[in-house]
Structure 1
Amino acid sequence: MHNKGAQAYLQTHVQSRTPVELVVMLYDGAIRFLGQARDAMASGDLVVKRHALSRGLAIVQELQHMLNMEAGGEVAQRLDGLYTYVLGRCYEANVQRDTKGLEEAIRLLTPLRDAWASVAATPTTPGA
């Protein structure tokens, strides 16, 4: 019963967000899961690492797939390249069993998350 209530809360929480707030939530998730993967890798917990890395990679891939290359122009192209690089560093970290690639991915995603959070926090005026 508790799980259904939590699931309903989460669904309402997500559905009540603006598109920009949803992007912030995606960044939060990617950073959180990549951090968990890094910590699990460092402690040798391969099960947690695999699960967390899989979720973090899926979120970065979703961010990349959400890009509108036509409307986004150069910014979308640069983000696409950055996401490709971040994914590559994560795969490399996994293969080499080295946390440095995950740490770099988190360092690259964090300022983007903060920028989107700043945009989300900016009040909008109707019709703007």
Structure 2
Amino acid sequence: AHQVGHGGSGRNVGLVNAGTWVAPDALEKVLGSVEASRLNTALGAAPALVFATIDKYRIDCQDTRTGNLHMAHNSKGLADLQSRAEQWQRRGANVELLTGKPCEDACGTDKVSGALLDHRTGTVNPMAYVSGMALNVVA
């Protein structure tokens, strides 16, 4: 047997995201408004649950809680991000569409048309997170 975290749980990029890449309105069309609302609410709350678990069990996993950026490199991508921002904001999510100087500052380049900043999200060191979870399970 391999050590805990040997597979995908320890080797992923470590994003703590709040949803799927399927936009909220599209989920409603597929699942219906009640089920889509339940799913969007649960997914939107997921980062807070992850970070609360990190705090509760004092897991040292180099977590950041400054949000994640989804960037657009052209006008089509920017239109998609604008739509996503509107959909999430309509549902009360703390997301912000960045363009111009704020986008350049956040992304570190002027080659990006815009970015959707989801303030609910962040990152973890995935191997440290899963190792910390495992240590707490056996403790």
Q: TM-score, normalised by structure 2?
A: 0.33
TM-score with structure 1 setting the length: 0.34
Return the structure number with greater helix share: 1
**Larger CA Rg, structure 1 vs 2:** 2
Structure with more of its chain in strand, by fraction: 2
